[in-house]
Structure 1
Amino acid sequence: MKSMVKMSSKLKQKVKKLKKEVKRKELKLKKKKSKSKLQPVNYQQLIKHHLKILKNLQYKSGLFAASRKEVETGYDKAWLRDNFYTCLAFEVIGDWDTVESTYEAILKIFEKHEYKIDYAIQKKPEHPFQYIHPRYHPETFDEFWEEWGNKQNDSIGAILFKVGELVKLGRRILKTERDYKLIQKLVDYLKTLEYWHDPDSGMWEEDEEIHASSVGACVAGLEMVKDNIPQIDVPEWLISNGKRILRDMLPRESRSKFVDLALLSLIYPYNVVNPKERDEILTNIEYHLLKKRGVIRYKNDHYYNKNPDGYSEEAEWTFGLSWLAIIYQKLGKKGKAEKYLKKALATVTEIGEPELYFSNSPKFNENVPLSWAESMLIVALYYVNKKIVG
C-alpha cells in the first residue's frame, strides 16, 4: 500500500512537471506568434518581387503588354489606358526612367497616327474606327483594325492627365515643339468630340453610352494640362462643360449602370469628385459589387460570367481590392486600407496577380499576371506600408 502511494506521488510529480513543460512551450509559441504579428511580411521584398513581374511585361519600345507576351487572349498588346495605370507603380517608387520611356513611346504612337488626329479635329468622327484607337502593336505602334469598342475617350483623358502631372513634377516629358503640338491636338480632339456628351465604350470597352468615368478622366486631364503646361491652350468652358455633366450624372456611371468599378478612377487617381460624391461611390461599390476575391465591374457583367445565363455570376476583378486599399489609405482610414490589402494579397498566384477570378471560385482566367493589377497591388503595398524600395 505504501509502495502504491509512493508511486502515485511520483506520478503526480511527473504530471506536474509535464504540465509545466507544456505550459512553457505554449508560452514560447504564443510569444513567437506575437512577434510574427509585429513583423508579418517583408513588404519591401514583396514590392520588389511584383516589380520584377511587371518589368517582364515591358517591351523594348517602353510599352507594357496587358498580360504575358505569349498569352492567346489578345492581351499581349499594348493599351493606352493599361500603360497609364501600369506606370503608377513605377511612379510611387521613383523609377522615372521606366515612366518616361513609356510616355515617350505613347507620344510616338500619337506622332505615327497624327494624320488621323488631324482628320478627327477637322470633322467629328462618325464611326468608331475614326477615333484614336485604344490599343497598339507594342513594337511597331500600328493600330489593330478589328472592332474593339474603339471609342474610348477616357484613355485620352488619362494620357493628358499624366503628361500634365509629369510636367508638374518637373519631369522632362515634352522635349520638342512637336511634342507640345501633339498634346495641343489631343485637347482639340476632345473639343471636337464634345467629350462631355459623346457616347463612348468606356473603361470596359463595351456598349456606347455617356460614361461618368470617361467624362471625369477628360475633365481631370484637361485641368491638369491647363494648370501645368501654359504653352497649351485649354479653354475654361471645355472643362466646365465636363464638370457640369459629371455633377448631373454622379453617383451613376451611365444611364444603364447605377454603380460601376470604373467610378473608383474619379477618386484615385483623378480626384474630381467632392466628398459627398466620393462617399456615395464607395458605399455603392462596397455594398453592391464587393466579393471575396475581387470587385465585380457592374451588375450583370457577362465577361467571364460563370453562369450559363451569362449574367448572374459576375467575375471578380482583383485590382478592385488594391484600388479600395489605396483610396482608404489616402483618406486616412488605415484599418480599412489594411483589410483590403490583405484581401488583395490573398488573390496573388504563383505567377502574379490575375485579371479576375470566376464568381465564388478559386479558379482564375488566363490573363495572369495582369499588368494593371500588378501595378495597383504595388501602389497599395507602398502606400499602406510606406516602404522605400532601393
Structure 2
Amino acid sequence: MRERVQQGLDSLRRQNGLYLASPSNTYHYIWIRDNCYISLSKLGKDDSEYEQIYHRILDIWRKYEWKLAFHADHQPEAVYQYIHPRYTADTLEEIHEPWGNAQNDAIGIFLYGLGLGLRHHRRMLRDDVDVRIVRLLIRYLKTLAFWCNADNGMWEEEVELHASSIGACVAGLLAIKPFFEIEIDMIRDGMIALWRILPHESATHDCDLAQLSLVYPYRLLPGDMASEIVRRVEQNLLRDRGVIRYAGDRYYADSGREAEWCMGLPWLGLCHATLGNQDEARRYLEWTERVMTPDVRIPELYLSAQGVPNENTPLGWAHALYLILHDLLR
C-alpha cells in the first residue's frame, strides 16, 4: 500500500524537482504551500530531495527578487502585488489571471520548512543570494504586518484575518529564529493576534480544516487548545469520506452538501499522533486507506451526494500526509 501511494506522489514530480498539486488541468500548477507540505514526507530520507524542493522555490524567488525587494519595504496595495503562491508547471512564472494571491501562510510554511531543514543539518542555503532572499521574506512579513493583514487564507477565498495564516507566519519565524535575526515583536504580535481569534479560524469561519496546521506541522499550541481544535474539527467537519473544509463551503458542493476532503483524514491522524493518541492516529490511517481509489490514489475530495471523487486525483498533498503518518506509526 505504502509503495503504491509513494508512486502516486512520485508521478507528480517535475524535471525541475517541484511537484504538481495534481495532474488535472485545474491543478496543473506549482503551489508553494503544497510543495512545502510534500517536502515533510522527505525529511527523514537519506537523499537530498528535501532541500532540493526549497532550492527550487528559492530559484523562483531569485527570479522575482526585484518584487521581494520592493515589497519588503512597501506593503502591497493590490492582491496581484503579493508574493505569489502559485506558478506555471514548466517555466515557473507567476500566474497572471485573477487569483487569491494574498496567502501569507505560504510564506510562513516555507520559512518553517527551511528552519526545520536547518535544524536537521540539511544544506538548505547554498550561497549569500539564498540568505538574502530569506532576509527579504522576513522583512516582507514585517512590512505586511501579518498579524493584522487580512489575506485569502489557505483556501484562497475570503480576504480576512485567518488564524491558520497568522499561525503559519509565527511558526515560520520561530523555526528560522536560531539562524536569522528576527525581531521578537513580530512573533509576540503574531501570537497575541492568534489568541484573539482562537478557537475560531476567522470572523466567518467558526471552525476550519486549515486550523489543523496549528497542531501539525506547527505544534504551535499548548495541549488543551490543540486538543480543542482537533475536537472541534471532528465534531463539526468530519464526514464519511473526509473532512469538509468549513460549514457552507461551496467548492464542489453537491446537492447543497459540502465536499469531503480526503487529506483531512491523515491530517487528523497526524494531529492525534502529535497529541500522543496513537490508537486514534492509526484509526485515521486505516480510514484513509478505505477512501483511496481502486488504483490506490487519494483524491482531493469526494462529492458528498454522489460519493465519487473529483478530477483532482491524486492530490500530492494528501499522498504526502498519508506517507508521513504511515511512517510515523510503522
Number of residues of Structure 1 aligned to a counterpart in Structure 2: 329
CA apart distance, 1:360: 4.5
Letter in 2 for 1:72: N
Match of 2:194 in 1: 246
Match of 2:323 in 1: 378
Moved over 6 A (4+): none
Q: Equivalent of 1:324, from 262, 265, 268?
A: 268
1:43-122 superposed matches below 5 A: 46-68=1-23, 71-73=24-26, 75-92=27-44, 94-122=45-73
TM-score, length basis structure 1: 0.83
Does the 8 Å contact 2:299/2:314 carry over to 1? Answer: yes
User: How far apart are the structure 1 equivalents of 2:50 and 2:25?
Assistant: 27
Q: Answer yes or no: is 1:152 the counterpart of 2:152.
A: no
Does the 8 Å contact 1:292/1:360 carry over to 2? Answer: no
Q: Equivalent of 1:339, from 238, 259, 283?
A: 283
Identity of counterpart residues, as a percentage?
A: 40
Question: Which secondary structure state, in structure 1, belongs to the residue aligned with residue 309 of structure 2?
Answer: coil
1:18-33 superposed matches below 5 A: none
Does the 8 Å contact 1:351/1:368 carry over to 2? Answer: no
User: How far apart are the structure 1 equivalents of 2:2 and 2:286?
Assistant: 14
User: How far apart are the structure 1 equivalents of 2:131 and 2:89?
Assistant: 23
Does the 8 Å contact 2:254/2:306 carry over to 1? Answer: no
Match of 1:362 in 2: 307
Does the 8 Å contact 2:5/2:296 carry over to 1? Answer: no
Question: Which secondary structure state, in structure 2, belongs to the residue aligned with residue 78 of structure 1?
Answer: strand
User: How far apart are the structure 1 equivalents of 2:218 and 2:321?
Assistant: 15
Question: Which secondary structure state, in structure 2, belongs to the residue aligned with residue 136 of structure 1?
Answer: strand
Question: Which secondary structure state, in structure 2, belongs to the residue aligned with residue 357 of structure 1?
Answer: strand
CA apart distance, 1:330: 2.7
Letter in 1 for 2:83: I
Q: Equivalent of 1:171, from 87, 111, 122?
A: 122
User: How far apart are the structure 1 equivalents of 2:155 and 2:79?
Assistant: 15
Q: Answer yes or no: is 1:162 the counterpart of 2:99.
A: no
Q: Please say which of residues 241-250 and 137-146 is displaced more in the overlay.
A: 137-146
Letter in 2 for 1:77: Y
User: How far apart are the structure 1 equivalents of 2:34 and 2:327?
Assistant: 20
Letter in 2 for 1:362: G
CA apart distance, 1:140: 1.5
Question: Which secondary structure state, in structure 1, belongs to the residue aligned with residue 314 of structure 2?
Answer: coil
User: How far apart are the structure 2 equivalents of 1:124 and 1:289?
Assistant: 35
Higher gyration radius (CA): 1
CA apart distance, 1:121: 1.6
Q: Please say which of residues 272-281 and 313-322 is displaced more in the overlay.
A: 272-281
Match of 1:35 in 2: none
**Going by fraction, where is helix more abundant, 1 or 2?**
1
1:220-299 superposed matches below 5 A: 220-227=171-178, 229=179, 232-299=180-247
CA RMSD of aligned residues (A): 1.1
Distance 1:165 1:246, change over 3 A: same
Question: Which secondary structure state, in structure 2, belongs to the residue aligned with residue 90 of structure 1?
Answer: coil
Match of 1:184 in 2: 135
TM-score, length basis structure 2: 0.97
Unmatched 5+ stretches in structure 1: 1-45
User: How far apart are the structure 2 equivalents of 1:351 and 1:381?
Assistant: 14
Relative contact order higher in (CA < 8 Å, ≥ 6 apart):
2
Letter in 1 for 2:303: F
Does the 8 Å contact 1:150/1:205 carry over to 2? Answer: yes
1:297-312 superposed matches below 5 A: 297-307=245-255, 312=256
Q: Answer yes or no: is 1:126 the counterpart of 2:126.
A: no
CA apart distance, 1:276: 2.1
Q: Answer yes or no: is 1:314 the counterpart of 2:267.
A: no
CA apart distance, 1:124: 0.6
Q: Please say which of residues 208-217 and 360-369 is displaced more in the overlay.
A: 360-369
Does the 8 Å contact 1:202/1:211 carry over to 2? Answer: yes
1:72-110 Cα offsets, whole Å, 9 max, x none, are 22x110000000111122224x15422122111000011
